[in-house]
Amino acid sequence: MSQRLFGTDGVRGTANRDPITAPAAMRLAQSAARVLMTPGEPPVVIVGRDTRASGEFLESAVASGLASLGIDVLLAGIIPTPAVAYLTACHEAAFGVVISASHNPFDDNGIKFFRSTGYKLSDREESEIEAEYSRHSHHVQLPIGKGVGRIKPLPGAVEQYAAFAVSTVPKRTSLSGLRIVVDAANGAAFQTTPLALARLGAKVNLRYATPDGYNINAGCGGTHPEVLAHLVRESQADLGLAHDGDADRLLLCDECGDPLDGDEILAIAGTCLLRIGQLRENTVVATLMTNFGLDELMHQLGGKVLRTNVGDRYVIESLVDHNLNLGGEQSGHIVFRDFTTTGDGLISALQILSIMVSSEKPLSELRRLLHKFPQVQRNVPVREKLPFEQFPVLMRQLVGAEQELAGRGRIVLRYSGTEPKVRLLLEGPEVTQLEHLADAIEHALKRELGA
């Protein structure tokens, strides 16, 4: 194949354009089954989706492809991505499928897979699925009669996942009296998050929870912190939380209406776990984009930060490889591996709320733990993703910027795994200097690679 199907988070693109078409989805599901199914195990797969209109026909295509191979399909319906990971392992399914494009606009969609354990696929498994997809033959012998699979709803999936999320909170923890604004992004968590919070006694002010198939992430959710900030200030809530479309991310706002990013969430959780002796190896896993202030904080407390490439799958791989239990990204993918196998916006929120309750401190005070180094970030649309080394003007700008920072900062330049964009991060002691350097690099990017 001329181009990889899988990006950093499954297969993603414009819905009803290759490879996010009904025929391609059916073929991809069949290819995944041939790679992931273990001979002799129960042929059952769980499928969930977010609220996009295109998810309806893609769900049907995936389920049809699997059933045609003799696999029984349980449809979890509209449910968060981490819920599918949990349900897959809980029901001992062969694997799980999620139909979602996460934080992308509604006209995009995607397909991603979880192993039977609830973990995302490895690079090797994705490559094997792509190879199977490329040699797919219409002449494969398919079962007939009673050999075909059945497609059925999975009853109570929403309630089961919400109950599990609540169970991760220490016993006798109550959120009674807490006023929480929830921005559900008109996405997959519009039922599960308010249900779990209400069961713990919180007073929930639910917003953006009327999905119509087209309004997912539209001016709301985790990619619009200014909206959540306004809602918190307007309602005088104790805090606000927002998810992206598939609810594997978390955005928090303190009672002042000031947003917290994933680095601050990691700092709060990491500090708490370290102090009570529950942070394995005294180590937090973070990505290259995470603020260096987290390294300093953990070092002061006797801990450390282990860094990975950008992408929650790399965070999870590092957590598994080193047997650690806390990691995440600046974007709000947080993995509490004592409870989850992937980023989980609801469980992350519940863990931070539990820390708030036990410490009797508001978020505005808890966040002061982390003293951030100034960062400047830019996102530049590109025509295609070519090696940066091919562009001499860009490389001169990068080398010059690194020399100017002279060991007092860092530059991270990478392609987005989900969009046709370049991500640029500069970190150092002075914002003015960083802005100046970022302007020059951004200009070179637009000139040589710009869309």
Mean per-residue pLDDT, 49-58: 98
Please list, in sequence order, all residues whose beta carbon lies within 8 angstroms of the beta carbon of residue 13, skipping any fewer than 6 positions away. Answer: 19, 20, 108, 109, 110
Q: Which residues constitute the domain of residue 21?
A: 6-155
192-199 and 345-359 helices, crossing angle to 10°: 20
* Digit-coded pLDDT (tens) for 8-23: 789 999 999 999 999 9
* Digit-coded pLDDT (tens) for 151-191: 999 999 999 999 999 999 999 999 999 999 999 999 999 99
Mean per-residue pLDDT, 53-73: 97
Which of 105-119, 136-150, 172-186 has the weakest average pLDDT? 136-150
The fraction of the chain above a pLDDT of 90, given in percent, is 87
Fill in the amino acid letter for 53: A
Domain boundary among 220, 240, 257: 257
- pLDDT at 274 (0 to 100): 97
Same domain, 29 and 131: yes
* DSSP state string for 111-126: EEEEETTSPBPPHHHH
Same domain, 304 and 287: yes
Same domain, 19 and 89: yes
Q: How confident is the model at residue 89 (pLDDT cuts 50, 70, 90)?
A: very high
2: tokens are: 């001329």
Point out which residues pair with 98 in neighbouring strands.
Answer: 48, 112
Report the domain count for the chain. Answer: 4
* Residue 127 bears catalytic tag: no
Residue 355 lies inside a defined structural domain of this protein: no
Residue 188 lies inside a defined structural domain of this protein: yes
Domain boundary among 343, 361, 395: 343
3-state secondary structure 309-369: CCCHHHHHHHHHHCCCCEEECCCCCEEECCCCCCCCHHHHHHHHHHHHHHHCCCHHHHHHH
Instruction: Report the alpha-carbon distance of residue 264 to residue 326 in Å, rounded.
Output: 13
Q: What is the CATH number of the domain that holds 238?
A: 3.40.120.10
Instruction: Report the alpha-carbon distance of residue 388 to residue 447 in Å, rounded.
Output: 13
- pLDDT at 86 (0 to 100): 98
Q: Are 206 and 230 in contact (CB under 8 A)?
A: no
**Preceding peptide of 194 cis, ω within 30°:** no
What are the angstrom distances between the C-alpha of 3 and each of 11, 81, 436? Answer: 12, 26, 36
* Digit-coded pLDDT (tens) for 300-355: 999 999 999 888 889 999 999 999 999 999 999 999 999 999 999 999 999 999 99
Same domain, 59 and 76: yes
* Digit-coded pLDDT (tens) for 235-279: 999 999 999 999 999 999 999 999 999 999 999 999 999 999 999
* Digit-coded pLDDT (tens) for 351-385: 999 999 999 999 999 999 999 989 899 999 998 99
Residue 288 lies inside a defined structural domain of this protein: yes
Same domain, 194 and 228: yes
- pLDDT at 9 (0 to 100): 86
Domain boundary among 320, 343, 366: 343
The fraction of the chain above a pLDDT of 70, given in percent, is 98
Same domain, 25 and 151: yes
Active-site position among 31, 54, 100, 102: 102
Using the predicted structure, report yes or no on whether residue 102 has a pLDDT greater than 50: yes
First to last CA, the chain: 24
Q: Which residue has the higher pLDDT, 367 or 289?
A: 367
Residue 352 lies inside a defined structural domain of this protein: no
